[in-house]
Amino acid sequence: MAAPETHGATEAHGVFPPFDPQYFGSQLFWLVVSFGLLYLVLSRFLLPRLGQILEERRDKIADDLDEAGRLNEEAKAAATAYENALADARAKAHTIAADAKAKIDAEIAEETGKVEAEMDAKHEEAESRIREAKAEALAHVQEIAGSATSAIVEKLIGKAPTDAEAQKAVKAASRG
Amino acid sequence: MAKDPTHQFQIQTIGEPILVGPLDLTFTNSSLFMVLASAAIILLLMVSTSRRALVPGRMQSMAEISYEFVADMIRSTAGSDGLRFFPFVFTLFGFILMANMLGMFPYFFTTTAQIVVTSALALLVFFIVIGYGVFKNGFGFLRVFVPSGVPIYILPFVVLIEVISFISRPVSHSVRLFANMLAGHILLKVFAGFVASMAGIGLVGVLGASLPLFMTVALTALEFLVAFLQAYVFAILTCIYLNDALHPGH
């Protein structure tokens, strides 16, 4: 401690320094000044500022959490919309495929029907031609048989029968 | 003279005497360190909160931690309505902590080792508790002396004890801080004095001096703990007493 001789007077009291009342008044006064000033500056200025900083941080964190929650909801909604769109598209694709199949089936059936009808018609025509040819051939057979009969009869009896007679005989023979 | 362990508590005047009527308000080393403690707190908080950073730096973190520390201390002992006393408790805690810590510097004066200072602070708390308790509860404040659930035939006795303990609060409140700081500093001074006097008697003394030197180092660490702890104890007792003013029924 510097210059102890300057306060020899206070030590002369011979009391334990903290209990020496000589400077109690001075200490109380300066305590009131320093403590009071500290209280004023802290309560009016510094502590509200510190509290505001903490408040702002809390608000910011709360806001950010809210924002994150909102974005999360949005993302979920977008995912749902995407799922729905996908399901719609899938359903549409199914109907398009089914439609196309039905149309093609119908076309195939129509074509097949047409071809079959044509074939039937040709078949019919061919058959009728065969029938005609057969009938014609049969008709010619009688005629030939008649002329052959008259020729044979002429050879046998030297006299040719009339066509009518020959035909009559052929008919009778072919029937018999 | 230098080895007198109580010399460090000696008031020394600084500058001219200031006499206001019969009062001697001379600026002293005690005054200097009270003003220094306040100035240091104001400066620290002003610098640390000046940037108002969303993500705090080291200094701002310290300020914020002490803010939350005191706020939690009040909330846990006096409830949320005790926060109206937050600036007062923060000032008290900060002032005592800073005064204690400044006292840990060699050659610095420890204002909290002055009984008049600690008594003044304890009486301030005492009268704030009574003043606010009566202002808020009126005669209901007297319930602070009547614990609930006490059988009627021993109630007068219990009330007497409660009154005595209430009145003796400022004494224990102030003497606890004063005595802790005083005893710690005297102890440090005594052990440090041993080092010097033992080292002065020759080679054996120099070797022997290592013992009190070790003790001095250990005590210094302990004193830092005590410096913080006593500020904390003073503040938390203040909160508990304020709780009586806020909620007088036990």
Averaged pLDDT for residues B67-86: 95
Both tokens of residue A151? 């020729």
Half-sphere exposure of A171 (CA within 13 A, CB side): 7
Gap from A74 CA to chain B (nearest CA, Å):
28
CB B34, CB A35: distance < 8 Å? yes
Residue A24 near residue B116, CB atoms below 8 Å: yes
CB contact B74 to A (< 8 Å): no
**pLDDT for A5:** 40
Q: Which residue does chain B place closest to A32, by CA atoms?
A: B120
| A39 chain-B contacts, CB cut-off 8 A | 87-88, 91
Substitution target in A16, A35, A43 with the highest count of B β-carbons within 10 Å is: A35
User: What are the domain boundaries of chain B?
Assistant: 7-246
Amino acid at A118: E
Residues 6+ apart with CB under 8 A from A28: B116, B120
pLDDT of B63 over the 80 cut: yes
Confidence band (pLDDT; 50, 70, 90) for B250?
low
Burial of B6 (0-12, 13-18, 19+ CB in 10 A): middle
Q: How far is CA B226 from CA A131, B184, B230, in A?
A: 137, 8, 6
Instruction: Write the single-letter amino acid at A66.
Output: D
Mean pLDDT over B50-56 rounds to 87
Q: Residues in chain A with pLDDT < 50?
A: 1-12
What are the CA-CA distances from residue A4 to residues A14, B2, B13, B25, B190 (Å)? 15, 9, 11, 21, 19
The stretch B211-231 carries a mean pLDDT of 95
Q: Between A and B, how many CB-CB pairs are < 8 A?
A: 145
How far does the CA of residue A62 sit from the closest CA of chain B (Å)?
Answer: 13
CA distance B210 to A20: 35
Nearest to B64 by CA among A41, A44, A55, A50: A50
Mutation target to probe the B interface, by most B beta carbons within 10 A, among A13, A22, A26, A49 is A26
Counting residues of chain B whose pLDDT is more than 70, the rounded percentage is: 98
Total residues found in chain A within this entry? 176
- The 3-state DSSP class for residue B69 equals helix
Q: To the nearest whole angstrom, how far is the Cα of B92 from the nearest Cα of chain A? A: 8
Domain ranges for chain A, please list them. Answer: 45-175
Q: Determine the Cα–Cα distance for residues B83 and B90; give it in Å rounded to an integer.
A: 10
- A58, closest residue in chain B (CA to CA): B54
Q: What does the pLDDT read at residue B179?
A: 96
Are B46 and B60 within 8 A, CB to CB? Answer: no
Q: Please tell me the distance from the alpha carbon of residue B137 to that of residue A37, in angstroms, as a whole number.
A: 30
Whether the CB-CB separation of B121 and B96 falls below 8 Å is answered with yes
Amino acid at A14: G
Mean residue pLDDT across chain B: 92
Give the C-alpha separation, B232 to B97, whole Å: 8
User: CA-CA distance, A76 to A82, in Å (whole number)?
Assistant: 10
* CA contacts within 13 A on the Cβ side of B162: 18
Distance (Å, rounded) from C-alpha B42 to C-alpha B192? Answer: 33
- List all residues 6 or more positions away from A171 whose beta carbon is below 8 Å from its beta carbon: A142
Tell me the C-alpha distance between B150 and B158, whole Å: 8
**How far is B148 from B141, CA to CA, in rounded Å?**
14
Q: Which residues of B touch A29 (CB under 8 A)?
A: 23, 25, 31
Chain B residues in contact with A47 by the CB 8 A cut-off are: 67, 86-87, 90
pLDDT at A13: 53
CA B241/CA A77 separation, integer angstroms: 56
Q: What is the pLDDT of residue A92?
A: 96
Q: Count CB-CB contacts under 10 A for residue B233.
A: 16
At B193-204, the pLDDT tens digits run 888 888 888 788
Six-digit token string for B94:
């900060």
In sequence order, what are the residues at sequence separation of 6 or more whose Cβ sits closer than 8 angstroms to the Cβ of residue A19?
B115
Query: What is the C-alpha separation between B136 and B246, in angstroms, rounded?
Result: 7
Q: CA-CA distances (angstroms) from residue B53 to A15, A55, A59?
A: 52, 12, 14
Q: Mind telling me how many Å the CA of B66 is from chain A's nearest CA?
A: 10
CB contact under 8 A, B86 and A47: yes
Which of A24, A26, A50 is nearest residue B64 as measured by Cβ atoms?
A: A50
Given a cut of 50, is residue B77 above it in pLDDT? yes
Q: Look at residue B222 in the predicted model and tell me its pLDDT.
A: 96
**Whole-number Å distance between alpha carbons of B35 and B23:** 20
Q: Kindly state the DSSP code that residue A44 receives in the 8-state scheme.
A: I
User: B134-181: per-residue pLDDT in tens?
Assistant: 999 999 899 899 888 888 899 999 999 999 999 999 999 999 999 999
pLDDT at B70 over 80: yes
Q: Return the DSSP state at A162.
A: P
- pLDDT, residue B2, reads 54
Would the CB atoms of A1 and B12 count as touching at under 8 Å?
A: yes
> Residue B234: what pLDDT?
97
**Pick from A1, A26, A60: CB nearest B25:** A26
Pull the structure tokens for residue B93: 């805690």
> Considering chain B, what percentage of its residues have pLDDT values greater than 90?
71
Number of H helices, E strands in chain B: 7, 2
pLDDT of residue B3: 63
Question: For residue A91, what are the β-bridge partners?
Answer: none
- For residues A130 and B24, which has the higher predicted lDDT (pLDDT)? A130
Residue with tokens 């059936």: A109
Mean pLDDT confidence for B60-77: 95
Residue position matching structure tokens 């003043």: B131
The owner of tokens 């009527």 is B21
Asked whether the predicted pLDDT for residue B190 surpasses 50, the reply is: yes
Least confident interval from A64-78, B10-24, B43-57: B10-24
Q: pLDDT tens for residues A35-66? A: 999 999 999 999 999 999 999 999 999 999 99
